[in-house]
């Protein structure tokens, strides 16, 4: 399973408001660029928990974990190993 590809695919289809966007760079700031907002984060958490069978705790929902695809991948992979 390619975690980053799954996350990017979700963000492009569900969270981004830019319908013409075809990709997201791994280090592109999702929050500053407006790719996700607070509702987008909630949708993303739900997606990640269901898709990867992980549990994201309230303590994990901090801007640093949702800043870019690299951070999201790291969070998901950390939870997968627990």
Give burial (CB, 10 Å; 0-12/13-18/19+) of 59: exposed
Domain count, the chain: 1
Q: Which domain, by its residues, includes 18? A: 3-81
Cα–Cα distances (Å) from 62 to 27, 59, 78, in that order, read: 17, 7, 15
**Which residues make Cβ contacts (< 8 Å) with residue 28, sequence separation at least 6?**
35, 68, 69
pLDDT digits (tens, 9 = 90+) for 9-58: 999 988 766 667 889 999 999 999 988 989 999 999 999 999 999 999 99
pTM over 0.85: yes
Domain at 77, CATH number = 1.10.1200.10
Residue 56's pLDDT is what? 97
């Amino acid at each position: 399973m390619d975690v980053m590809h799954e996350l990017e695919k979700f963000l492009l289809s569900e969270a981004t408001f830019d319908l013409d966007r075809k990709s997201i760079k791994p280090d592109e700031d999702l929050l500053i660029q407006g790719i996700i907002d607070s509702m987008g984060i909630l949708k993303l958490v739900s997606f990640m928990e269901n898709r990867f069978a992980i549990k994201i705790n309230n303590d994990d929902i901090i801007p640093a974990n949702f800043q870019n695809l690299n951070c999201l991948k790291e969070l998901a992979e950390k939870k997968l190993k627990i």
